[in-house]
Structure 1
Amino acid sequence: MDTMIAEASAYTPLLLNAAKAIVVLIIGWFLAGFLSSTVRKRVNASPKIDDTLGSFAASIIKWLILLVTIIAVLQLFGIQATSLVAVLGAATLAIGLALQGTLSDLAAGVMLIMFRPYKIGQYVDIGGTSGTVKDINLFMTELATPDNVQIVLPNGKAWGSIITNYSTHPTRRVDFTFGIDYSDDIDKAIGIIADLAVADERVHKEPEPWIRVTNLGESSVDLGVRLWCNAGDYWELKFAMTKKVKEAFDAKGISIPYPHSVEIQKKAD
């Protein structure tokens, strides 16, 4: 009986430390989520601070609290912080080699926040992958495609790729090419397009609409059209003008040709 009591007494501190460790882990995990969420909301609520900074700051706070929590748990089992630092220092090379991709993503995340080639809410193309930026954290960038498919891109890949940001500037140019038949009146067709452009409130007066003959194709005279609008009106203007020009050409007798072949028969001598 005395032996059993002694063995139970020996395991009691270990069990207590294990229970304390579980409690610390739960509290640390809760605090990490709560504080990171609070910081994100507070920063995003301020119109003077970019939403991207709120997301990044929340990510940093979350990982720092989790790191402190892990250190506290190790100390409960007798592993002092100084010893932990010494062990980590001795294993730095091995960890660096094993996690070089992750560390590269971390460094790239810092660079993305510093130089901000894109922000949350902007539509971008990163190395051939397009979508709206939904989140930027320490290690990855989250995009959503126009059909609402989630794409998670490592920051290292994002920073090392060509980035095309379609939302940086407040205005964009919409380009069109309309083909008319060789027998049609070119000036009449240009006038129709110009009138439609002037009538659309989304088209900017400056720079003024640009309409020119850009090519003499195999079956059509091609008219190039360049209109400036607010970035948010780009697609709606493109769709609307395409429809309006087709309808106006039909009403005014301007034909839009399509490739066709002409068969010529020769009589035998």
Structure 2
Amino acid sequence: MNEALEGYLPLIWNAAKALIVLIVGWIVAGRVGAVVRKRINNTPQIDQTIGNFAASMVKWVILLMVLVAVLGIFGIQATSLVAVFGAATLAIGLALQGTLADIAAGFMLILFRPYKLGDFVEVGGTSGTVKDLNLFVTELATPDNVQIIVPNGQAWGTIITNYSGHQTRRVDLVFGIDYEDDMEKAKGIILRLATEDPRTLADPEPWVRVTNLGDSSVDITARLWCDAADYWELKFAMTQKVKEAFDAEAISIPYPHSVEIQKAG
């Protein structure tokens, strides 16, 4: 019995050492990755997106080295691993083709940078703010703070709309007025409110024109340029201000309504 137990002692000892190496390696990989991310993100000349991606890459390289060390504890040498991996290349490639595609796509996303951390984007029909980009996935947060995980392969292989890609954006607003109202007066009100708002840029200058004669309204379109960060606030503010100004100036905004016609019997 003692001889049988003694035979298992080396295996138990190796398993204990392997567990310790795994735990220490996991902690070291996480901390080194965090240091790399912090150092890069604290460098103003380098985009934070690169910091997150580099930290992810460093972490997984260290974990791969830890795995090799653990296998070495059990007597499996690196040269043997190379031979085994070489013989199983096809099987591994087929099994991990999705993961490998995500890694390759991650490098392409970092190289061409269609979006970066903090950008508001639409990827594969899902909109959100980019929170992280690592070796495997892109993490988005929707406006109501729901976490969305998009594999890099899907992100790179679909249409990407980056609403934060440029410093300025154009706000398009359409206001309908009654056919009996003064069009020039309404245009003047909209233009005045636009120029009074400090978020509206002077170049390109605000544009206000009659663009459509609808079934029940004359449609006036306003095109205003602003900083990308001010887009929604300017849009909401102008919508409310124009409505209030139209009410004060007795300019009506038509809305669908029903007319009852009674015929004498």
2:149 is aligned with 1:152: yes
Give the TM-score of the pair, scaled to structure 2. 0.96
Question: Counterpart of 2:16 in structure 1: which amino acid?
Answer: A
Residue equivalent to 2:135: 138
The whole-number CA distance in structure 2 between the counterparts of 1:82 and 1:236 is 62
Question: Counterpart of 2:110 in structure 1: which amino acid?
Answer: I
Question: Counterpart of 2:247 in structure 1: which amino acid?
Answer: D
Question: Counterpart of 1:136 in structure 2: which amino acid?
Answer: L
Question: Counterpart of 1:224 in structure 2: which amino acid?
Answer: T
Runs of 4 or more consecutive aligned structure 1 residues displaced over 6 Å after TM superposition = 265-268
Residue equivalent to 1:127: 124
Shift of 1:200: 0.7
The whole-number CA distance in structure 2 between the counterparts of 1:242 and 1:5 is 86
Residue by residue, what CA displacement relative to the aligned partner does 1:70-117 show, whole Å, maximum 9, x if unpaired?
111111111111001110111110011111111111110110000010
Question: Counterpart of 2:79 in structure 1: which amino acid?
Answer: T
2:70 is aligned with 1:101: no
Question: Counterpart of 1:146 in structure 2: which amino acid?
Answer: P
2:169 alignment partner, SS class: strand
Residue by residue, what CA displacement relative to the aligned partner does 1:177-219 show, whole Å, maximum 9, x if unpaired?
0000000000000011111111111101111110011000000
2:231 alignment partner, SS class: helix
2:47 is aligned with 1:50: yes
The whole-number CA distance in structure 2 between the counterparts of 1:70 and 1:96 is 19
Task: Show the 5 A alignment for 1:21-100.
Answer: 21-100=18-97
2:246 is aligned with 1:249: yes
The whole-number CA distance in structure 2 between the counterparts of 1:84 and 1:167 is 46
The whole-number CA distance in structure 2 between the counterparts of 1:245 and 1:84 is 71
Shift of 1:56: 0.4
Residue equivalent to 1:230: 227
Question: Counterpart of 2:46 in structure 1: which amino acid?
Answer: I
2:209 alignment partner, SS class: strand
Query: Which consecutive residues of structure 1, in runs of 5 or more, have no partner in the other structure?
Result: none
Identity of aligned residues (%): 70
Question: Counterpart of 1:59 in structure 2: which amino acid?
Answer: S
Q: Greater shift after overlay, 21-30 or 255-264?
A: 255-264
The whole-number CA distance in structure 2 between the counterparts of 1:149 and 1:6 is 59
State which of 5, 8, 12 in structure 2 corresponds to 1:15.
12
State which of 175, 182, 195 in structure 2 corresponds to 1:198.
195
The whole-number CA distance in structure 2 between the counterparts of 1:24 and 1:226 is 62
Give the TM-score of the pair, scaled to structure 1. 0.95
